[in-house]
Structure 1
Amino acid sequence: MKILHRIVVVLAFSLSAATVFAQGLEEKVHEYTLKNGMKLLMVPRHTSPTVAAWIRFKVGSVDERSDERGLAHLLEHMLFKGTTTLGTTNYKEEKPLLDQIEATAQKLMAENLKQDKADPKEVARLTKELDRLEKAAEKYVVKEEFADLYAKNGGSGYNAFTSKDGTTYIINLPANKMELWASIESDRMQNAVLREFYTEMKVVKEERRRSYDAEPEGKLWETFLADAFNAHPNGQPTIGWMSDIDNLTRTKAERFLHKYYAPNNAIMAIVGDIDPQKTIALVEKYFGKIPPGQPVPPVAVEEPVQQGEKRTEVVGDAEPELMIGYHKPTLPAPDDYVFDVIDMLLTNGRTSRLYKTLVQEKKLATSVSSFSAPGSRYPNLFIINATPRAPHTVAEVESAVYQELERLKTEPMTERELQQILNHLEFEESRQMASNGGLARNLTEYEAVAGTWRYLIEHRQKVAKITAADVMRVAKQYFTRENRNVGFITKKEAAAAPVSASAH
């Protein structure tokens, strides 16, 4: 009990530092909501004449229906293709060709879906016709016009990314080019044209082959998640399975786009050399009249409680790899904050428990990490990932991990461990504030996932209230065999040798 008491004292002492940080951010963030539902978050920063502008759509792969898997990721690609005025030399002449391409592609898809009964001659004819139409449409395409416009005006870091939880478009640019940004992005939000759709599908399929089908590490990751989630779409790959991609159409993509990629599902963060009132006026001018789309409905399905350990093996030409995952709640559930502490206790830095045991002392692994995945809007997994050090095996590393997890259940964290965690959080908070882009990312991320950017303020304060008893309780509750998912890579030549499961 003495240890627990001393930890509480340290936590209370450290809370004041977190409060100082929280008050600073609270005063800096300006919020504004447009009538169409778009949320605008602004942080003036006059250290340099630049701005980071992030637009986060609260729609990701977890929101796809079964016949839409892969759409959010494909749309990320497609929204770089332009609008009715950008990316084309003559949209009026281009559009009839795009419509012919879509009609032909749908006929080809319908014929291919007949599988063994498909007419090979019809498939060949439609394939040839689709190729002809796509080549004819190419003459109207102005490639990378968005990127070129930004680059010519001093923009950098123009990019996008898709996750389970959302899709984000980012750019850094000179502060005096904000009106250009508003013009481009409002045009994209209203008038996106999904040109070169079936050409880009081939690019995505190649990405899938390269990153997943041909890579044992990628294959392990997506198979591990698919095995862990029987019902919830968290288990489906963001890029989609190959047959999912094969059956996407521009019509489906446009329907998904027009429903969800709209102001009411968008969060905008602008951080840098700005005047908030002038920024509000600019955003109202360009985005204020865009009609809202449909709110993204919550995923209704709930993952059934797992009733026994699941083991996933991938045999491939790669070094052994180990993943161990446990189902857990997501933010802002109180236990999620405890998992943040456990994460840092186990793998944050060279003094963390798993790093010291597996990498330094026993030399069983070359690396070890932990994290929560695959998304944050719905209950997820706490995952431990380790790479065995030859000649040690996956089974040896797995057993050592379980020994450390058992320690969590019985040995309270020490004052020193707790103080290291709080110090790390303080460092991370400072790092998040260091760059315009880093702060913009966190503002949009937590506004979308936690429902408020103030999660950034509340997080450290809530972590500071966690006790050693909380850590032991959570470890006992979640780190059980029946709640466990184990994934590993077996090198091809070693596949014949069985991997023994731990009895823990």
Structure 2
Amino acid sequence: MNSKSLWMALLLMGAVITTQAKTYRYHTVTGDLTNTRIYTLENGLKVYLSVNKETPRIHTYIAVKTGSRNDPAETTGLAHYLEHLMFKGTRLFGTSNAEKEAPLLQDIENRYETYRLLTDPAQRKRAYHEIDSVSQLAAQYFIPNEYDKLMSAIGAEETNAYTSNDVTCYTENIPSNEVENWARIQADRFKNMVIRGFHTELEAVYEEYNIGLTRDSNKEWQALFKLLTPTHPYGMQTTIGTQEHLKNPSIVNIKNYFNRYYVPNNVAICMSGDFNPDEVIAILDQYFGSWKRSENLSFPQFAPQAPLTAPRDTTVVGPEAENMILAWRFDGGESLQADTVSVIAEILCNGKAGLMDMNLSQKMKFLGGGTFAESLAEYGILGIHAVPKEGQSLKELRSLVLGEVDNLKKGRFSDHLLPAVINNMKLAYYKSLESNKERADQFVDAFVRGQKWETVVGRLARLSKITKAQVVAFANKYLNDNYAIVYKLQGEDSTQQKIDKPQITPIPSNRDIQSDFVQSILRSKVEPIEPRFIDFNKDLVKTQTKKGLPVLYVQNKDNGLFTLSFHYDFGTETDKRLPVAADYLDYLGTDKLTAEQVKQHFYELACSYSISSSTDNTQITLTGLNENLPKALALLEDLIANAKADPVAYKEYVELMKKARKDNMSHQQQNFAALTAYGVYGPYNPVRNVMSNKELDNAQPQALLQLLRSLHTYKHRVLYCGQSTPAQLVALIDKEHQTSKPLREVPVGKRYTEQTTPDTEILLAPYEAKNICMMLYNNSGRGWNAAQRPTVYLFNSYFGMGMNGIVFQELRETRGLAYSAWAQYKTPVRRGGTESLQAHIISQNDKMKDCISAFGNILNNMPLSEKAFQLAKQAEQKRIATERTTKFSIIEAYLRARKLGINYDITERIYKALPQLTLADIARFEKETLSGKPYRYIILGDEKNLDMKVLEKMGRVRRVTTEEIFGF
């Protein structure tokens, strides 16, 4: 055969060969409600796939089985820092010229190895200046945020990652038609990671460290594991790392770590969503199959922890309220101890009918608490968290908690409690199946812990067989004086050290440059997904009861769960007593049932109720198993109608409320929330418009109950999503829901009104911390304009929201000024409201001036990039096209539209308007609404450590006290 004939023959053979798809073996488990397929590629890469077609999107995780447990002792925090660097790109993206960049990156790497060994401050300063100088040279090739641009290009959401003790996990939520582009990007990223943008990202990690310093729970968690696992990395080092190690990083160690652990036989790809698993596994093999496995994969080994034979305790100090954490150590990984531990956690405290719920919370013997069961790869824990009431010592609190553990060990709990716990755990599992993220979380947990999928799937069956006698025996065997306890005291932590701001020259954003790789993804063609918008006339059933109550109905076709809500169009603006009345009801029984029996009945029905009151609406909501809806509704109606006032219980409740308020005043984020409400609305705002302590003392318990009973006398709606038919639902409401006739008109209250900002000013409230929380607020009094909504939507994407926005790029990527930085042009949620810009920044105290300056620059001279704009537009078009509003969310969308005075899904109008919008439209909008405008700088910080001269030059400084912003 001549060469031409051979060539033709091979062509013909190729046509046959391409039709012979590769066969992939996978593992499934009988009875698995997720129908998960588990594959192992030839290089050892594990793949978990579960199909869920509710929305045309896929939640993805790439989990690497390594975390802070494997950090080298001399560079703790390495796994977490590597997580950050994984977003910086490869030789294909994140750079405009990898060849010219490479020697500069090598120079930076070498300089850091020298720098980390220097101890003389002057030498360190000089060396860091040299690193900064070389970094400027390398930065001319660096294209910050190209990974985020890639994810935006394919319409991804939830771009993020996390590091813990045993795992580093990378997450995306992608459109179902973008699997191949996603796989192509991720495979390159995990095979060819390049470390660049090192010193600015290191600053972001410092800021994350600073944020952690203000969270006392972090200290408690670290101290607890140090007691439980004193000679294991769980207890010896933290995920964030030490201050010393963060200031002395080693790129060499990071590369070695990456090469050792980021290998396919140590990685799992976990996906849940709308896809064809046969097609997906072939794509994953195409892009990840060439990733070379490690034949020398190993992990540091540590001797088993010595048994705890007596209580171990320690104390940590910080500004937040006093509390305690107590825990026992168990086996981790595949150990089936986790089954019984999780059941015991629920028996002790499930928020409704557990031993602590009934004997401590219900009787108001402490302020509050809960239990948690944590299973890591090598050890597990059963923990109890508790907060004392006023005047209660932590030692007294410990005795109360251990008393309930003793009740457990002696079997002093109802025979109905264990079956109810199991049923509610089943209910929680069935709810989790609705979420792609929660399905994928199960895959990650199984992979990291080394659990067989049979073990995961069989959990509910095993739980159903656990008996009370087994629980009691287990508790007596393991829950003895072998616990660790951390006492958290309130005070100044003298161990905290200030991290000085390094001198960093801002690197260029290079936002107009795109690598060839990014352009190829942008040019790629995928089968489009058609958007689906809500039609309130078709997707909602609108009917009414015999008494004329409007009913909004959506059928739940997926499972036996329901949500039923009675919706009232008034809230705390009308009566600030509503939240107090709702909370007080939780402690009461009726003429036939005690408060404990009420909770037990709801719990045994696997149903729960809540009464919530916000600015302008109040809702009484039932959720749970639809088969038990009639009994649950009858129970709820009886409770509201016949609750018995208990003056003694009310007095105790008020004391708990006062203590909780006092505790909130010591918490940084609670202070910032109160301050921002004050800054936006003024003294009359949702945080301050509450019953004062004096009003609580003087209130009549019976009047509060009458307030709840009177709700049914006002006009309201019935909202429902479940399996009952409209006729069945209406019949049930007519039978059980007691209302007056005629119904009264909805009362009108005093509206919270957003303040305008005619002048630049600074609103400053005190909080001692190493960092500040700041919001920039502008309000020119502009009312909502539906026609402008598409422009606002696209402006937020381009300017302030997400890692690809201008704000994040300028404050974090190019300058390393903040860990958290975002901005949003907010539109009203109801008629009569005004629009405003709200920008949030968390940064180090000595970076305040730089943050304000940088933000002012981008507000007055917003960077314009046609490429960045087109990317933002493409991202939003893909995201909207793949959004699906389902189940009870349809009803909520209808109510939101109604509050704005419209009867259509505004997202449809946004989507149709996006193609016509230009960068000039966005620039014009920004100039008209934000550029050169006065701002209110709302700052929570320690004035002693702030540059007050800078603030005073900007505008009038108005100081408010902690007491003023809370208004209790």
Fold equivalence (TM over 0.5): yes
> 2:79 matched to which residue of 1?
72
> 1:395 matched to which residue of 2?
395
- Residues 413 and 297 from structure 1, CA distance in 2 versus in 1: closer, same or farther, beyond 3 angstroms? farther
**Structure 1 residue 298, shift from structure 2 partner:** 6.1
Question: What are the superposed Cα offsets for residues 348-367 of structure 1, whole Å, 9 maximum, x if unpaired?
Answer: 122111122222213412x3
> 2:371 matched to which residue of 1?
370
> 2:203 matched to which residue of 1?
202
- Residues 23 and 34 from structure 1, CA distance in 2 versus in 1: closer, same or farther, beyond 3 angstroms? closer
> 1:309 matched to which residue of 2?
311
- Could you say what secondary structure the match of 2:487 adopts? strand
Residues 272-421 of structure 1: pairs in structure 2 closer than 5 A: 272-293=273-294, 294-297=296-299, 299-365=301-367, 367-373=368-374, 376-411=376-411, 413-421=413-421
Contact residue 58 and residue 167 of structure 1 kept, 8 A:
yes
Report the identity percentage.
27
> 1:90 matched to which residue of 2?
97
Stretch of structure 1 that moved more, 338-347 or 383-392: 383-392
**Distance in 1 (alpha carbons) for counterparts of 2:412 and 2:319:** 41
Contact residue 310 and residue 484 of structure 1 kept, 8 A:
yes
Residues 246-261 of structure 1: pairs in structure 2 closer than 5 A: 246-261=247-262
- Could you say what secondary structure the match of 2:461 adopts? helix
**Distance in 1 (alpha carbons) for counterparts of 2:298 and 2:425:** 32
Stretch of structure 1 that moved more, 225-234 or 215-224: 215-224
> 1:5 matched to which residue of 2?
none
**Distance in 2 (alpha carbons) for counterparts of 1:171 and 1:192:** 18
> 2:884 matched to which residue of 1?
none
- Could you say what secondary structure the match of 1:111 adopts? coil
**Distance in 2 (alpha carbons) for counterparts of 1:387 and 1:130:** 48
- Could you say what secondary structure the match of 2:339 adopts? helix
**Distance in 2 (alpha carbons) for counterparts of 1:78 and 1:458:** 38
Q: Which amino acid aligns with 2:68?
A: S
Stretch of structure 1 that moved more, 277-286 or 131-140: 131-140
**Structure 1 residue 84, shift from structure 2 partner:** 1.1
Q: Which amino acid aligns with 1:288?
A: G
**Structure 1 residue 474, shift from structure 2 partner:** 2.1
Q: Which amino acid aligns with 2:349?
A: T
**Structure 1 residue 24, shift from structure 2 partner:** 4.3
Task: From the CA coordinates, give the structure whose radius of gyration is larger.
Answer: 2
**Distance in 2 (alpha carbons) for counterparts of 1:45 and 1:84:** 35
Matching of residue 134 in structure 1 with residue 141 in structure 2: no
**Structure 1 residue 126, shift from structure 2 partner:** 1.1
Residues 229-268 of structure 1: pairs in structure 2 closer than 5 A: 229-235=229-235, 236-268=237-269
**Distance in 1 (alpha carbons) for counterparts of 2:37 and 2:411:** 44
**Distance in 2 (alpha carbons) for counterparts of 1:284 and 1:315:** 51
> 1:32 matched to which residue of 2?
39
**Structure 1 residue 327, shift from structure 2 partner:** 1.6
- Residues 153 and 335 from structure 1, CA distance in 2 versus in 1: closer, same or farther, beyond 3 angstroms? closer
Question: What are the superposed Cα offsets for residues 443-465 of structure 1, whole Å, 9 maximum, x if unpaired?
Answer: 22213314323333121122222
Q: Which amino acid aligns with 2:265?
A: N
**Distance in 2 (alpha carbons) for counterparts of 1:206 and 1:61:** 19
Which of 59, 63, 67 is the aligned partner of 1:56?
A: 63
- Residues 435 and 259 from structure 1, CA distance in 2 versus in 1: closer, same or farther, beyond 3 angstroms? same
> 2:15 matched to which residue of 1?
none
**Distance in 2 (alpha carbons) for counterparts of 1:280 and 1:167:** 22
**Distance in 1 (alpha carbons) for counterparts of 2:125 and 2:439:** 52
Contact residue 432 and residue 442 of structure 1 kept, 8 A:
no
Contact residue 58 and residue 272 of structure 2 kept, 8 A:
yes
Q: Which amino acid aligns with 2:352?
A: R
**Distance in 1 (alpha carbons) for counterparts of 2:280 and 2:405:** 50
- Could you say what secondary structure the match of 2:195 adopts? coil
Contact residue 394 and residue 488 of structure 1 kept, 8 A:
yes
Contact residue 49 and residue 271 of structure 2 kept, 8 A:
yes
Matching of residue 486 in structure 1 with residue 466 in structure 2: no
* Length, aligned pairs only: 463
**Distance in 2 (alpha carbons) for counterparts of 1:299 and 1:467:** 37
Question: What are the superposed Cα offsets for residues 218-257 of structure 1, whole Å, 9 maximum, x if unpaired?
Answer: 2222123223321111112111222233343111001101
**Distance in 2 (alpha carbons) for counterparts of 1:233 and 1:372:** 20
Q: Which amino acid aligns with 2:377?
A: R
Residues 101-250 of structure 1: pairs in structure 2 closer than 5 A: 101-112=108-119, 118=120, 120-212=121-213, 214-235=214-235, 236-250=237-251
- Residues 287 and 380 from structure 1, CA distance in 2 versus in 1: closer, same or farther, beyond 3 angstroms? same
**Distance in 2 (alpha carbons) for counterparts of 1:369 and 1:454:** 30
- Residues 302 and 248 from structure 1, CA distance in 2 versus in 1: closer, same or farther, beyond 3 angstroms? farther
- Residues 27 and 50 from structure 1, CA distance in 2 versus in 1: closer, same or farther, beyond 3 angstroms? closer
Q: Stretches of 4+ moved more than 6 A in 1?
A: none
Matching of residue 45 in structure 1 with residue 52 in structure 2: yes
**Distance in 2 (alpha carbons) for counterparts of 1:266 and 1:45:** 23
Q: TM-score, normalized by length of structure 1?
A: 0.87
- Residues 455 and 158 from structure 1, CA distance in 2 versus in 1: closer, same or farther, beyond 3 angstroms? farther
**Distance in 2 (alpha carbons) for counterparts of 1:372 and 1:245:** 31
> 1:436 matched to which residue of 2?
436
> 1:13 matched to which residue of 2?
none
- Could you say what secondary structure the match of 2:337 adopts? helix
**Distance in 2 (alpha carbons) for counterparts of 1:59 and 1:395:** 38
- Residues 307 and 440 from structure 1, CA distance in 2 versus in 1: closer, same or farther, beyond 3 angstroms? same
- Residues 332 and 104 from structure 1, CA distance in 2 versus in 1: closer, same or farther, beyond 3 angstroms? closer
- Could you say what secondary structure the match of 2:275 adopts? coil
Q: CA RMSD in A?
A: 2.1
- Could you say what secondary structure the match of 2:417 adopts? helix
**Distance in 2 (alpha carbons) for counterparts of 1:295 and 1:454:** 26
Q: Which amino acid aligns with 1:73?
A: H
**Distance in 1 (alpha carbons) for counterparts of 2:43 and 2:33:** 25
Q: Which runs of 5+ in 1 are unaligned?
A: 1-21, 113-117, 496-504
Q: Which amino acid aligns with 1:292?
A: R
Stretch of structure 1 that moved more, 36-45 or 145-154: 145-154
**Distance in 1 (alpha carbons) for counterparts of 2:142 and 2:440:** 32
Question: What are the superposed Cα offsets for residues 356-397 of structure 1, whole Å, 9 maximum, x if unpaired?
Answer: 2222213412x3121234x51112322111122223332222
**Structure 1 residue 122, shift from structure 2 partner:** 2.9
**Distance in 2 (alpha carbons) for counterparts of 1:282 and 1:332:** 31
**Distance in 2 (alpha carbons) for counterparts of 1:97 and 1:301:** 42
Q: Which amino acid aligns with 1:51?
A: I
Question: What are the superposed Cα offsets for residues 28-65 of structure 1, whole Å, 9 maximum, x if unpaired?
Answer: 22222111000112122333322222111111111233
**Structure 1 residue 100, shift from structure 2 partner:** 0.9
**Distance in 2 (alpha carbons) for counterparts of 1:125 and 1:241:** 23
**Structure 1 residue 26, shift from structure 2 partner:** 6.2
- Could you say what secondary structure the match of 1:84 adopts? coil
- Could you say what secondary structure the match of 1:454 adopts? helix
**Structure 1 residue 198, shift from structure 2 partner:** 3.2
Question: What are the superposed Cα offsets for residues 476-496 of structure 1, whole Å, 9 maximum, x if unpaired?
Answer: 222222x12111121239x9x
**Distance in 2 (alpha carbons) for counterparts of 1:273 and 1:371:** 33
**Structure 1 residue 299, shift from structure 2 partner:** 3.1
- Could you say what secondary structure the match of 1:302 adopts? coil
- Residues 423 and 162 from structure 1, CA distance in 2 versus in 1: closer, same or farther, beyond 3 angstroms? same
Q: Which amino acid aligns with 1:316?
A: G
Q: Which amino acid aligns with 1:311?
A: D
Question: What are the superposed Cα offsets for residues 166-224 of structure 1, whole Å, 9 maximum, x if unpaired?
Answer: 11111111111111100110001111111122332232222222213x43332222123
Contact residue 115 and residue 128 of structure 2 kept, 8 A:
yes
- Residues 52 and 248 from structure 1, CA distance in 2 versus in 1: closer, same or farther, beyond 3 angstroms? same
> 1:462 matched to which residue of 2?
462
